[in-house]
Amino acid sequence: MNVLIIEDELVAQQALVRALTSNFDDIRICAVLDSVDKSVNYLETTESYPDVIFMDVELSDGKCFDIFERVQIACPVIIVTAYNNYAIKAFEVNSIDYLLKPVSATDLSRALERCRTRKAKSNANMDIDALRSAISSESRRYKQRYLLRYNDKIVMIETANIAYFYSEEGCTYLMSTSGEKYLMDISLDTISRELNPANFFRISRSCIVADKAVGNVAKRLGNRIKLTLKPASDIDSFVSRSKTADFMAWLESGEQQGM
């Protein structure tokens, strides 16, 4: 069975490839792509069309339903997502399978068996408008967890246990509430789109903080604001001048859309 993976997070890519190839002898990964443009180009030109596509919702250059608008998809699609909400039911109703991250071997086996026992469906047989509506609803949901590589392991960090994210010397890091630091494969720009703005605020180009991580708030020269973060850190924790008013409103209400 030829499998195409469309996923923009490196750790999630590697985890899915490893789960598929180590648990199923008949699986062949024909490609791993991270964007709408690359996916459309591949599906338009490939001579080895996939039997099934594993597809994340948020990609590096758009949402996955953009692919359906630009190219005909003539095989089953399995949506892979970190979100568990009513939109998932819409995928099932429209004969589109789904898996929740982190993906287990049991989930993969169930989904692949459904693909094996039915004929590939054309794009015309899929209710793309319903898919678009479902994904649009899902896109308003926020990230619940991150899968990260830590030494030789893959660890799962719930967003409730994240204190802040920051970039330093071209790298992105996650700091947990327990003080553990993890290197990430995605940018702060991507992360900022995934988080609930009621709980996280991007104070500058290099730092996103959770409300629970804000300790003291101190004024400095030039009407600048400096935060004392929890856990303590020596990173730049100044709030950008242009974000000061929004940050204070967010800190007070928790409802400011500050990302």
Phi-psi domain of 179 (left: phi exceeds 0; alpha: psi -120 through 50; beta: other):
left
* 89 in a structural domain: yes
Same-domain pairing of 234 and 192: yes
Q: What is the pLDDT of residue 66?
A: 84
Domain match, 68 and 17 both: yes
* Pair (117, 49) in one structural domain: yes
**Peptide linkage before 50 cis (omega within 30 of 0):** no
Q: What pLDDT score does 39 carry?
A: 95
Could you tell me which of 171, 172, 173, 176 has the C-alpha nearest to residue 159? 176
In a domain, 18, yes or no: yes
Full residue range of the structural domain in which residue 210 is found: 160-253
* 12 in any annotated domain: yes
78 and 119 both lie in a single domain: yes
Q: Determine, yes or no, domain membership for 58.
A: yes
Domain-located, residue 155: no
- 209 Cβ neighbours under 8 A, 6+ residues apart: 163, 164, 200, 201, 203, 227, 229, 237
Q: Is residue 211 part of a domain?
A: yes
Beta partners for residue 227, in sequence order? 217
CATH code for position 67: 3.40.50.2300
Same domain, 89 and 199: no
Query: Domains in the chain: how many in total?
Result: 2
145 within a domain of the structure (yes/no): no
* 30 and 62 assigned to the same domain: yes
CA distance 207 to 167: 7
Are 167 and 244 part of one and the same domain? yes
3-state SS assignment for residue 28:
strand
DSSP state of 223: G
How confident is the model at residue 50, as a pLDDT? 92
pLDDT digits (tens, 9 = 90+) for 127-177: 566 666 655 555 556 888 998 887 778 899 999 999 999 999 889 999 999
Establish if 144 belongs to a structural domain: no
Q: Per-block average pLDDT, block size 10, for the chain (259 residues)?
A: 92 90 92 94 91 87 84 84 56 60 83 74 54 57 84 88 94 95 91 88 95 91 88 91 88 58
CATH number of the domain to which 206 belongs: 2.40.50.1020
